[in-house]
Amino acid sequence: MTQYIMRRLVLFVPTLLLATGMIFTILRVIPGDVAALIVTAGGEGKFNERAYREVRRQLELDKPIPVQYALWLADALRGDFGRSYWSKTEVRDELLERLPVTLELALAAPLLALLLGVPLGVVSAVKQNSPVDYLARATAITGLSVPHFWLGIVLILVLANYFDWVVPLRYAELWEDPRTNISQMVWPVIVLGTTFTALLARVTRSAMLEVLRSEYIRTARAKGLRPLAVVGRHGLRNALLPIVTVFGAQLGALISGAVVTERVFNVPGMGRYFVESVFVRDFPVVQAVVLLIALAYLIVNLVIDLTYAWLDPRIRYT
């Protein structure tokens, strides 16, 4: 197990280099010039060739891309992600301020999905082809079909028209005002967790149906075990491997959903910060966020792989 973990940790390095190197190169070769945008104040002012060359020199954009990447990587290893091209603030400080907001959203949504999606899938499998099963399946398909941005906009319209609720202009920190924070975050969490819940319900139902048809389930029932013990201890545990796999894969996808959700609900998290930075080609911000996202993906995948051995004793890492 220790050797397996060490090998996976070693693979973190080339994976992070590949992810950051790709986004670093793409940002610099796609059409558009951030130095020209800065000189012309976003395209509203006049272009000055001398000022343009000076900006490129200050931002080190006049150097070859490999040299720029090596300089950025050396600073990133020290925890220095540079300064924003537009706000002139330290990217590291901005991320430290916004990361807890995104983590709150990205952790609450999976928790909601686990509490609702897995029980819904289990009940749907146990009550196969019953009205409860049809209702659960219809709910899951609807949840998978509805985009985050559409659901968020509709939810805001309903809350505004019927409950006089509007998107808050100021975000309340969880540790400063828990009650206000929860009231603000509950709707983004519901929107972000809807698709996740529906997907978990579908996967759980499929896995449980396969397990419930197994010989050992019939044997457990023949021994006179209670239905709850058969479904929970013998059924659900053996169906957890595909559920855990999908759960881990979707944790990373939540970040992309958080980008849209934070934008719709005016949540000052990393997703919203990332989108705004892409629009103005703020390279240091985009590069730092991509690095964090790639690192999060790698850690989640490692944890999921190690969870397999705990769920199924037949799995061993040597």
Tell me, what's the pLDDT at 43? 64
Neighbours of 61 (CB within 10 A): 15
Phi and psi, residue 64, nearest 5°? -60, 150
Q: What is the pLDDT of residue 300?
A: 82
CB 230 within 8 A of CB 218: no
pTM, two decimals, is: 0.80
Distance in angstroms between the alpha carbons of the first and the last residue of the chain: 6
**What's the CA gap between 237 and 184, in Å, rounded?**
35
Low-confidence ranges of the chain (pLDDT < 70): 1, 4, 42-44, 252-253, 255-257, 312-318
Contact by Cβ (8 Å): 213, 204: no
Q: What is the pLDDT of residue 315?
A: 67
Domains in the chain, please, with CATH? 2-77 (no CATH), 99-311 (1.10.3720.10)
Over the stretch 22-58, which tens digit does the pLDDT of each residue have?
988 988 888 878 888 888 876 667 777 888 888 888 8
Residue 216 identity (one-letter amino acid): Y
